[in-house]
Structure 1
Amino acid sequence: MVAPLSAWPWENFGRFKYLLYGPFLAKVVRSRFQEDGPEDSNWCLHILIICALRGLIHQLWSSYSNMLFLKRNRRIVHQGVDFKQIDMEWDWDNFIILQALIASIACYIFPFLENLPLWNTKGFIALLTLHMAVSEPLYYWMHRCFHGNHLFTHYHYLHHSSPVPQPFTAGNATLLEHLVLTGIIGIPILGASLMGYGSISMIYAYVLIFDFLRCLGHCNVEVVPYQIFETIPFLRYLIYTPTYHSLHHQDMRTNFCLFMPLFDSFWKTLNGKSWELHKKISSNLGKSARVPDFVFLAHVVDVSAALHAPFVFRSFAAMPFSTNLLLIPLWPGTLSVVLMMWAWSKTFVYSFYQLRGRLHQTWVVPRCGFQYFLPFASEGINKHIEQAILRADKLGVKVISLAALNKNEALNGGGTLFVNNHPNLKVRVVHGNTLTAAVILNDLPKDVEEVFLTGATSKLGRAIALYLCRRRVRVLMLTTSGERFQKVQKEAPMDCQSNLVQVTKHQAARNCKTWIVGKWITPRQQSWAPRGTHFHQFVVPPILPIRRDCIYSDLAAMRLPDDVQELGCCEYTMERGVVHACHAGGVVHLLEGWTHHEVGAIDVDRIDLVWDSALKHGIRPVSSTKAKTSQ
């Protein structure tokens, strides 16, 4: 049975909970179009503005705390935020709706709140006094009460269920807790107003600073320099730090204060490690930062996909990427940031997870997909990739895997350029395409006799063609270059070369129902495929699934083992826990402890070996087929 006041009244509303702001908005709109609009419309407008600013404060703090490329060296809890915590904190903003509704009720009970002046200096003095004398000790004792057996089990457990403190964790609590917190916030505001010292600016300042400090304590990044406390020792009792509050989540018998450790010190609940740990983290400057065993070197696909980064919108990044109309207004700002990062020209840490006790990180080259196709940009792009590889080598990374365009054959020969330039690299450079080829090949029907292959002379196309011809499958290789075709054909065993057939037009595959697409094809070119054709693909971007009478497979992907930890974002359009096959190929390389570089041409003889190794480590193929039935 659910404890009273533990669940939110609108917890089953989903996104429709935001309709609760509707009456406020309606009153504001009505007042703008009617002279005799509601008298409390200004108050409703202030409530809406404050709610928007509170949400913005939490979002900005969340973005900051998840910018691993800026603050990973000052993280307090080095564990990552996983999908479970993100889902648990999905409705973190319930308290903002609650307090908006309570504020509207307070407006009716205390009508004088509607006519407060813009500024009153005495109000700030009264507010600060009431906060220190009433709100701080009241919160301290209420917080301690919530750590009693009954209240903690039925109410406060939710807040402490988050293993990694985050700004959104500050709002993740039960209804009863936020009712209490609302009273604690309201006492100074209402008290100062009843004294006749209230003002609009006082309410704005107190509520927003209150949220700012709550987010500060939960941000999991130490931002307060220890030198301040050494210069003014007593200041450490007047304002807490992220380290101070994180200790409460580690040892729940200590550090109960709201913002002022003075009360923990007075009532003997101050954690003895507070100042020492704060100084250690604040002055460490990354000396204890974890070195990853594996790095996946990704790149930005396009400007819209850049919004899928975990430090932008955590909830958006936790779901497979899709175009969202609500994000369109952010496009200009995102483009500016992308260009700034291009100018900054430094690879940054994007995300990380743990697998088998080894740290896996994703680094991103600050380049958008379209930039890879600019002839004058190739040298600069290779320079950034090379710098990332050398950085990984210096850190002691064991394997670095190159994503999609970072291993483009025309750009750097599938990574060969870097290995040749630096023959003494300790880090293993891997393009991961061997596993990509294995995923595509194992997705084909076992009894397939003929396939049509576009991009036939590319790195992947060559390997797929040679593998299939050895298994007596007839491969129609689409290429206009007889020289390239003959080069691939000569690599096949003599008795298998006849299974490779050069074709120059898509019409040649009008009777073939298995298409492997390695070069983008237009809707018109797709029309030559017979009804029921299965389109397998390794082309970026994927082809448009326009045929309802055909089947389209997604890009080759693999699901990580069930014991993966700290994974909290999706890899582009992939589902949770699913990564591109080239990413998984690098993981297999690490887990197997292979010491060779996997660059350049794919070794066809290793395709089955890599596939079997992936399955052995629990990395499973993804059934990503999308069937389009004829209407």
Structure 2
Amino acid sequence: MASKPGILTEWPWTWLGNFKYVVLAPWVVHSTYSYLVKDETQRDLSNFLIFPLLLSRFLHNQIWISVSRYRTAKGNNRIVDKSIEFEQVDRETNWDDQIIFNGLLFYLASKYIENGSHLPLWGIGGVIWTILLHAGPVEFLYYWLHRALHHHFLYSRYHSHHHSSIVTEPITCKNFYSRANVGWVNCDGITEVYIFSVVAAVIHPFAEHIAYFLLFSIPMLSTVFLKNASVASLAGYLIYIDLMNNMGHCNFELIPKWLFSMFPPLKYLMYTPSYHSLHHTQFRTNYSLFMPFYDYLYGTMDKSSDSLYENSLVRKEEAPDVVHLTHLTTPESIYHLRVGFAHLASEPHKSKWYLWLMWPLTMWSMMVTWICGRTFTAERNVFKHLKLQTWAIPKYKVQYYMQWQRESINNMIEAAILAASDKGAKVLSLGLLNQEEGLNNSGELFLRKHPQLKMKVVDGSSLAVAVVLNSIPKGTSQVVLRGQLSKIAYSIALALCQGGVQVYTMRKDEHKKLKAMLSNEAGNNLILSQYGTPKIWLVGDGLTEDEQKKAPKGTFFIPFSKFPPKRKRKDCLYNSTPAMLTPKHLENVDSCENWLPRRVMSAWRIAGILHAMEEWNVHECGNMMFSIEKIWKASLEHGFRPLTMSADPKPI
């Protein structure tokens, strides 16, 4: 929102929320119905193609978003270093409003403007006129409109919304980071301070979009009135605008230097991502739309444009200090990754009804990852001086339980460990099922194969145990231990029994295995009972619905598993899987980790950060356990905090 919102700031359909697309529905239905029922000679193909064009623009923008996020996470050719935060994502969720707005205007023009319907598919005259009118009037008028919007009166009422944050990403979060956190800007004698972070290229108040559309309509309406417009000229112009907008805000440099060497005048006719980034960081330079010619002409070109362009081109892929190795979970989890849909990634993973409509695409993506998927960089963060990256193995949860897939998965994990080591990473933490005991014995398999590995491999079990122990309400004297026994379960039972807490188990085999680990004194606190009444249940994988039904009303389920149990009781409380709140100095956080809430990180992931921060020169894999007390103390010292529970039986 602008600092002093002016008139026509809000979009007319803002009140509809997620149902805003219904404003297009009557036009789409009428266009499709008319095309299907009318005689072939009366069909208006150009009108019918408006809706497919709108869909193609959504897809075009999403592809740029995913590519941009992937490339900037890796770091090669990146222009600025920071990323966005949750506030930025929330502010820019309405990037698609301008596509809806354009669609409505196209339908109206097709219906009410003479020569606006029954357009031919191709016409060279319309294409030429569109190019000339854009290069002349549109670029010229946009330059001066843009400069006017930076006057303090219009800036404070409209354009400051676009500059409310500074780093660029295509469409959803077109953000360009400033070089400093605070910048002083003098607007016609009025000095103001702006906190710079991120900006979205198409995130503008409604009034600004009206002005922009009037500019972009000059070539379109002119060719319509000249009777040489075609589907190719109109659709091609929109594709050109989207392409240049997305390219200019993708935050990585992709225009090769040889292109300008072969055709030097091109530098005046086409901007680059680094060129446009300087407008967002320096504020008073590089105003041009897509053609820098007018900045050269009027002396507003930033002097560092060429150097930033050349430096961005040669920038190498970033070397991480800590790598967290995770994997896909459900088939639709691909959309919840940071490289997927920004608004889904910014919320805890929940099944959405509209994702079912995308099942053909979902199944296709599963087949691709199944056959030829490779580990990819999904996210990057900064924790104090440490550079963090999250790598994802393109395997789904179900594949980890397939015996014939295990060798392939272990090979991918091993390759990721060696790749991280080659890049100079200090620690690699194994997330989710990548550290499954039945798969690779919690990572010990890789240490046996590579005993000289300099990088430390961490499964995070010690911190997971510490989080569970500190989630148990103070004063608790009895707990129930349920679910499949694991390295974490044994450690929890041992710590509780030695601390004088009675641990109830319901199966003889579990009781026997746990009893063998305990001293005689501690073993007295391990109780075999089918009718345990404690209201604190520590649960792992394999907790059944029948077992949950046996729990007393008001039971507090505390998972020690990597995946949350299915909630079958509305009269009970369910805690989160082992996780902690992250401190403010964890930067570049704009996505949720699987089902966890915002700015909450799993214990297994945090453990890798702590090992690197404390420079603990030890592995934590296989049967090796790190000091529970030591790692818990370190987590608190570095700003991580335990989660709290509310009366609502959901993790918070």
Give yes or no for TM over 0.5. Answer: yes
Say if 2:274 is the partner of 1:271. no
Give the distance between the partners of 2:613 and 2:71, measured in 1 at CA.
Answer: 25
Give the distance between the partners of 1:3 and 1:56, measured in 2 at CA.
Answer: 32
Say if 2:576 is the partner of 1:554. yes
Task: Choose 104-113 or 518-527, whichever is displaced more.
Answer: 104-113
Contact preservation (8 Å) 1:24, 1:48: no
Which residue pairs with 1:178 in the alignment? Answer: 209
Partner SS state of residue 188, structure 1: helix
Give the distance between the partners of 2:142 and 2:572, measured in 1 at CA.
Answer: 63
Give the distance between the partners of 1:598 and 1:69, measured in 2 at CA.
Answer: 31
Which residue pairs with 1:578 in the alignment? Answer: 600
Which residue pairs with 1:187 in the alignment? Answer: 218
Which residue pairs with 1:500 in the alignment? Answer: 526
Task: Choose 230-239 or 265-274, whichever is displaced more.
Answer: 265-274
Partner SS state of residue 116, structure 2: helix
Partner SS state of residue 379, structure 2: strand
Contact preservation (8 Å) 1:457, 1:488: no
Which residue pairs with 1:489 in the alignment? Answer: 515
Give the distance between the partners of 1:66 and 1:106, measured in 2 at CA.
Answer: 36
Task: Choose 22-31 or 113-122, whichever is displaced more.
Answer: 22-31
What is the RMSD of the two structures over their aligned residues, measured on CA atoms?
Answer: 2.6
Change beyond 3 A, Cα 1:369–1:108? closer
Partner SS state of residue 57, structure 1: helix
Give the distance between the partners of 1:100 and 1:456, measured in 2 at CA.
Answer: 55
Contact preservation (8 Å) 2:5, 2:158: no
Out of 549, 561, 582, which is 1:527 matched to? Answer: 549
Superposed displacement of residue 146, structure 1 = 1.5
Give the alignment of 1:236-275 within 5 angstroms: 236-275=267-306
After superposition, what is the alpha-carbon deviation per residue over 1:24-52, rounded to whole angstroms, capped at 9, x for unaligned?
1343355368769xx99866544433332
Out of 181, 199, 214, which is 2:230 matched to? Answer: 199
Say if 2:638 is the partner of 1:617. yes
Contact preservation (8 Å) 2:34, 2:43: no
Task: Choose 486-495 or 262-271, whichever is displaced more.
Answer: 486-495
Out of 66, 76, 80, which is 1:77 matched to? Answer: 80
Which residue pairs with 1:96 in the alignment? Answer: 99
Provide structure 2 residue ranges, at least 5 long, that are not aligned to the other structure.
172-199
Out of 374, 388, 394, which is 1:360 matched to? Answer: 388
Superposed displacement of residue 436, structure 1 = 1.1
Give the distance between the partners of 2:204 and 2:155, measured in 1 at CA.
Answer: 11
Which residue pairs with 1:28 in the alignment? Answer: 31
Give the distance between the partners of 2:110 and 2:371, measured in 1 at CA.
Answer: 51
Contact preservation (8 Å) 1:554, 1:625: no
Contact preservation (8 Å) 2:485, 2:540: no
Partner SS state of residue 447, structure 1: coil
Which residue pairs with 2:352 in the alignment? Answer: 324
Partner SS state of residue 378, structure 2: strand
Give the distance between the partners of 1:53 and 1:376, measured in 2 at CA.
Answer: 39
Change beyond 3 A, Cα 1:478–1:409? farther
Say if 2:315 is the partner of 1:290. no
Change beyond 3 A, Cα 1:476–1:140? same
Contact preservation (8 Å) 2:44, 2:118: no
Out of 441, 446, 458, which is 1:413 matched to? Answer: 441
Out of 405, 427, 432, which is 1:399 matched to? Answer: 427
Change beyond 3 A, Cα 1:496–1:143? same
Say if 2:634 is the partner of 1:608. no
Give the distance between the partners of 2:362 and 2:25, measured in 1 at CA.
Answer: 30
Which residue pairs with 1:117 in the alignment? Answer: 120
Give the distance between the partners of 1:93 and 1:458, measured in 2 at CA.
Answer: 47
TM-score (norm 1): 0.91
Which residue pairs with 2:66 in the alignment? Answer: 63
Contact preservation (8 Å) 2:72, 2:252: no
Partner SS state of residue 160, structure 1: coil
Superposed displacement of residue 464, structure 1 = 0.7
After superposition, what is the alpha-carbon deviation per residue over 1:535-570, rounded to whole angstroms, capped at 9, x for unaligned?
222235433222233332231221111232111111
Give the distance between the partners of 1:70 and 1:466, measured in 2 at CA.
Answer: 41
Which residue pairs with 1:336 in the alignment? Answer: 364
Superposed displacement of residue 162, structure 1 = 3.1
Partner SS state of residue 66, structure 1: helix
Partner SS state of residue 303, structure 1: coil
Partner SS state of residue 468, structure 1: helix
Change beyond 3 A, Cα 1:549–1:15? closer
Superposed displacement of residue 407, structure 1 = 0.9
Superposed displacement of residue 182, structure 1 = 0.6
Superposed displacement of residue 476, structure 1 = 2.4
Partner SS state of residue 598, structure 1: coil
After superposition, what is the alpha-carbon deviation per residue over 1:557-607, rounded to whole angstroms, capped at 9, x for unaligned?
211112321111111111110121211222222333322212223648x22
Out of 405, 416, 434, which is 1:377 matched to? Answer: 405
Say if 2:536 is the partner of 1:514. yes
Task: Choose 64-73 or 316-325, whichever is displaced more.
Answer: 64-73
Change beyond 3 A, Cα 1:571–1:624? farther
Give the distance between the partners of 1:526 and 1:369, measured in 2 at CA.
Answer: 23
Give the distance between the partners of 1:157 and 1:451, measured in 2 at CA.
Answer: 55
Change beyond 3 A, Cα 1:172–1:73? same
TM-score (norm 2): 0.88
Counterpart AA for 2:67? Y
The structure with the largest helix share of the pair is 1
Contact preservation (8 Å) 1:303, 1:331: no
